[in-house]
Amino acid sequence: MTSAQIRQSFLDFFASQGHTIVPSSSLLPDSPGLLFTNAGMNQFVPIFLGDRAADVSKWAGVRPAKDTRAADTQKCIRAGGKHNDLEDVGFDTYHHTLFEMLGNWSFGDYFKKESINWGWELITKVWGIPAKRLFATVYSPDKSKGDPSEFDQEAYDIWAEIFRKEGLDPKVHIVHGNKKDNFWMMGDTGPCGPCSEIHFNLLPSDDETEGRKGVNSSSPRCIEIWNHVFIQFNANADGTFSPLAAKHVDTGMGFERVAGIHAVSKGFKDFTAEPSNYEADVFAPLFAKITALSGKTYGRTVPTKREGLTEQEQTDVAFRVLADHARCVSCAIADNILPGNEGRNYVIRRILRRGILYGKKLGLQTGFFEQLVAPVVESLGTVFPELKERQDIVRRVIRSEEESFGRTLDRGLQIFTKAASAGSINGAAAFELYDTYGFPLDMTQLLATERGLTVDAAGFEAAMEAQRERGRASQKKEIVVAATEGEATALEATKFLGYEDTTAHGKLIDVIKADKDTFLVFDQTPFYAEMGGQTGDIGTALINGQLVHLTDCVKDKAGRHLHKVAEGSPAFTAGATAELSVDLTTRRAINRHHSAAHLIHWALRKVLGTHVRQAGTSKTADRMRFDFSHFEAVTHAQLLEVEQLVNAKVIDNAKVDTYETEFDQKPEGTLAFFGDKYGKFVRVVDIGGYSRELCGGTHVSTTGEIGLIKVVAEMAIAAGTRRIEAVAGQPAFNLVATREAALSAVSAHLGGGASDVVKKLEALLAAQKETEKQLKAFQQKALAGMAEELAAKATTRDGFKFVSAVVSVSDQEVLRSLGSQVLAKLGDGVVQLGAALGDKASLVAFCSPAAVKAGHQAGKIIQGLSTAIGGKGGGKPDFAMGGGKDIAKLAEVLGG
């Protein structure tokens, strides 16, 4: 069987058992707590939890054979978070950052008996894996460690019966495992349960006692191929486990492992050769490409340690790393996870940079990684069509990353070598490598390990924290509460009324002094406190008959809105009631910019692609900034399209809906941001049904209120991150008015109306070009005439013709040209010229070859002349330039 046939045979087998074959879900998980999709079950979490009905058609867009049974091959990345295999990739032959997980699921339908028996049937009967080589693990909690649940007697009995039927001893073939090995969790929270794994003895001999020893021993000669998880609990954030309403099955098979073993063992028959996933044919196009690019051959060696590798071991590790990383990075980008500076995006950047480093070890130059995309598409494009569709974007993103890292890699490696000569890499060096040369810490560690050195990771963290601290200090909005006059112990979040009201009464419950500023805290307020990039409200408070201006509003850790008081305000005492009024003009301007930001986000995703993700944003009354992931400059035409799209939506005057819902119930396609901590309830801002984001900000009620959106600028702010600045409403009108005034002024100068400006300007520029051409020709003629005149006045010195004069020219270049023309006219001789250019004097000297031979030196001549006019100069024997301040002395030194 080829790998494709193995995959298909798995799917066919489960289809024949009533399973709906669904497509792989994206590597970008829906759950904000997950870095990447790390298991086939991720997309089914809401079903397991009972939040959604078991209707797989919802996920897959296909009619299920049965709503309660699904099977697929799922792209998974395990390179961070709870499941991280990155460090092992390349050094062994069976861990990957990206792999395919073949899986079958039961949503409250069949349970352990069917799952285990079908599994057994597929691998031993359909595929013919020798039963004697298989071992099953069952869950046996270690109560001394607080492991949850009970011994999995049910799974044990099912396995015992199976092995007995095969004439094998269950005591030998069933291995017990505690929570560490036999209780599967997707992350710290979420659906989970005891599991039963199938391990495959790959030793040359099928001796069962020896085989059993290999289970869970990290031996490449005995590896887990299939995990059957019996989902029965939800892991809560506090570490407890709640039973679920229904019992589910979630299995996952390591596709590359099975395909690799199949290839090496010639169809599960001959186990003499060393097993390796990389022997599966899905890797073949990649290895062929790496060989073609590097001229090196893969030698199948596997190092036993991390330092002092032989050359062949180095090469083989690099082959495996490159093949693995190319698949991972390509699939991630195709699923809109672009390399970036934060979270999962940084993981992808790290993996790509790691790949580039290993490419360097093979002697590959910047630009090679991009070429690995084609073989990835060749081997996976049919199974994951998005790879094929988006291969162009994938290549462009990789190219731009390679170029930017390529600029600092070599210098970084030099810095590393220098730092390494000290015997270990200190924190400051590791941080400099990270900050200036883009070396992720794990890459520096990798380089250090190869040399048997260590990196001071704590020192690195300290340097990193110090930088963050500097960043925070420069953001003046951060408030250090130095003194609080109220009840400092019971800090309750302020009740925010500002979504509905812009005026309200609030009881003054605290007065806070921080530095020179005073902040007021009320029990409730209509003032929005800076959050999510939206600036805080300004306005007034009427307290005890006194009107106080509030110039900003920020939130502290307890969720209290701190209203900043204008300078020169009276003293306050807690307890008073205030009439709070938000400055409506300002708030409305902020709303416009906030809604405009959502529209621009929507339009960018439409114009540039769905890889565009918000990377930071700021909305004030004057403008909005929107930072987003994108790998190249946005073109003028694209910006225009964005502007057109958003303004069309403004004119449409769509309703802006805001509502609260449970995170899991948010509508399909709602944009949420990784790293944001969402509670059970989230607020959705829905513009016209096409733009949906989780957002806590304030907005216009219909898009027409925005009035007009104008993009002011687009720029790069980091590798892979762009920024758009735009204005909406009044500032947009002002921008247009200013531009129009400038245009009117220009058209007035040019004569005629604004509509002719371009034509007139083009005509003017063409005329100017023509004039310049003529002027140049004229100047050249004049110069030739001047040269003629000067040459005619030549005297003789030491048997050579000699010209020395002060001339009047426009610039140094003309002076040089004149000098060389005079010499050309003389044929042989020495020329020295000077001219006053602005407030300085310039000098040139030329000596013909014969004059040089006779001992004349332009450099020396200029040296002498320059010194005489209070300056410096010099040059070669045949030509030199110089100058000085003393214009008055020019005539004297040049004798004319």
Evaluate whether 509 touches 558 at the Cβ level (below 8 Å).
no
Per rule CB under 6 A, is residue 41 in the interface with ligand SER?
Answer: yes
In terms of CB distance, is 193 or 412 closer to ligand SER? Answer: 193
Q: How far is the CB of 257 from ligand SER (least distance, A)?
A: 12
Give the CA distances from residue 611 to residues 68, 115, 124, 288, 488, in Å, rounded to whole numbers and listed in that order. Answer: 32, 38, 43, 30, 45
CB-CB contact of 405 with 319 (8 Å): no
Asked if 43 contacts 59 with a C-beta cutoff of 8 angstroms, the reply is yes
CA distance 849 to 857: 10
Listed ranges 158-166, 244-252, 439-447, 484-492: which one lies at the site for ligand SER (CB under 6 A): 244-252
CA–CA distance from 273 to each of 130, 219, 220, 268 (Å)?
17, 15, 12, 11
Give the orientation angle of helix 391-420 with respect to helix 441-450, to 10 degrees. Answer: 50
User: How near is the Cβ of 205 to ligand SER at its closest, in Å?
Assistant: 28
* 71 is a contact residue toward ligand SER (CB under 6 A): no
Does residue 79 interact with ligand SER by CB under 6 A?
no
Per-residue b or e along 603-612, where b marks 16 or more CB atoms closer than 10 Å to that residue's CB: bbbebbeebb
* Chain center to CA of 267: 42
What are the percentages of helix, strand and coil residues in the chain, rounded to 5? 45, 25, 35
Q: Which stretch binds ligand SER (CB under 6 A): 34-42, 108-116, 275-283, 607-615?
A: 34-42
Among 184, 369, 384, 496, binds ligand SER (CB under 6 A): 184
Count of residues touching ligand SER (by CB under 6 A):
10
Output 139 or 184, the one with its CB closest to ligand SER: 184
Least separation in angstroms between residue 195's CB and ligand SER is: 7
Residue choice 27, 34, 35, 39 for contact with ligand SER (CB under 6 A)? 39
Q: How far is the CB of 236 from ligand SER (least distance, A)?
A: 19
CB of 156 to ligand SER, least distance (A): 19
User: For residues 158 and 198, which CB has a smaller minimum distance to ligand SER in the complex?
Assistant: 198
Query: Nearer Cβ to ligand SER, position 37 or 366?
Result: 37
404 with 437: CB under 8 angstroms?
no
CB-nearer residue toward ligand SER: 251 or 534 = 251
Instruction: Count Cα atoms within 13 angstroms, Cβ side, for 679.
Output: 7
- Between strands 577-582 and 539-543, the pairing is antiparallel
Contacts of 544 (CB under 8 A, 6+ apart): 576
Contacts of 612 by beta carbon, 8 Å cutoff, 6+ apart: 601, 604, 605, 628, 629, 630
Q: How far is the CB of 608 from ligand SER (least distance, A)?
A: 34
Q: Specify the stretch interacting with ligand SER by CB under 6 A; choose among 249-257, 306-314, 363-371, 424-432.
A: 249-257
Q: Is 250 in the site for ligand SER (CB under 6 A)?
A: yes
Helix (H) or strand (E) holding 619: strand 614-619
CB of 160 to ligand SER, least distance (A): 22
Measured from each CB, the residue nearest to ligand SER is 252
Does residue 379 touch ligand SER according to CB under 6 A?
no
Half-sphere exposure of 596 (CA within 13 A, CB side): 36
**Which of 29, 40, 193, 355 is the binder for ligand SER (CB under 6 A)?**
40
Closest CA to 650 of 727, 734, 739, 735: 727
Residue pair 14/119 in contact by the 8 Å Cβ criterion: no
CA 289 remoteness from chain centre: 27
* 194 lies in the binding site for ligand SER (CB under 6 A): no
Question: Are 487 and 512 spatial neighbours (Cβ–Cβ below 8 Å)?
Answer: no
Piece of the chain touching ligand SER by CB under 6 A; list 21-29, 39-47, 168-176, 703-711: 39-47
Work out whether the CA dihedral 393, 399, 405, 409 comes out positive or negative.
positive
Q: What is the DSSP letter of 494?
A: P
Residue 583 tokens, joined: 């400055």
3-state SS, one letter per residue, for 273-323: CCCCHHHCHHHHHHHHHHHHHHCCCCCCCCCCCCCCCCHHHHHHHHHHHHH
Smallest gap, in angstroms, from Cβ of residue 248 to ligand SER?
11
Task: Give the nearest distance from C-beta 250 to ligand SER in angstroms.
Answer: 5
Give the pair of three-digit tokens for residue 497. Answer: 């009324």
229 binds ligand SER (CB under 6 A): yes
Closer residue to ligand SER (CB): 250 or 686: 250
Nearer to ligand SER, 69 or 592 (CB): 69
Should residue 103 be labelled a site residue for ligand SER when binding is judged by CB under 6 A? yes
- The Cα angle at residue 273 between residues 269 and 278, in degrees rounded to 5: 100
Least distance (Å) between residue 216 CB and ligand SER:
14
- Compare residues 250 and 456 and give the one whose CB is closer to ligand SER: 250
The answer to the question of residue 190 lying near ligand SER (CB under 6 A) is no
Pick the stretch among 33-41, 403-411, 726-734, 803-811 that binds ligand SER (CB under 6 A).
33-41
Q: For residue 211, which amino acid is it?
A: G
Can you tell me the distance from the alpha carbon of 203 to that of 208, in angstroms, rounded to the nearest whole number? 10
Smallest distance, Å, CB 38 to ligand SER?
Answer: 7
Segment near ligand SER (CB under 6 A); pick from 37-45, 338-346, 488-496, 734-742: 37-45
Closest CB to ligand SER among 193 and 214? Answer: 193
* 252 binds ligand SER per the rule CB under 6 A: yes
Q: Which is nearer to ligand SER, 249 or 815 (CB)?
A: 249
46 near ligand SER, judged by CB under 6 A? no
CB nearer to ligand SER: give 44 or 460. Answer: 44
Task: Tell me which of 68, 93, 234, 251 binds ligand SER, using CB under 6 A.
Answer: 251
**Which residues of this chain interact with ligand SER, rule CB under 6 A?**
39-41, 103, 184, 227, 229, 250-252
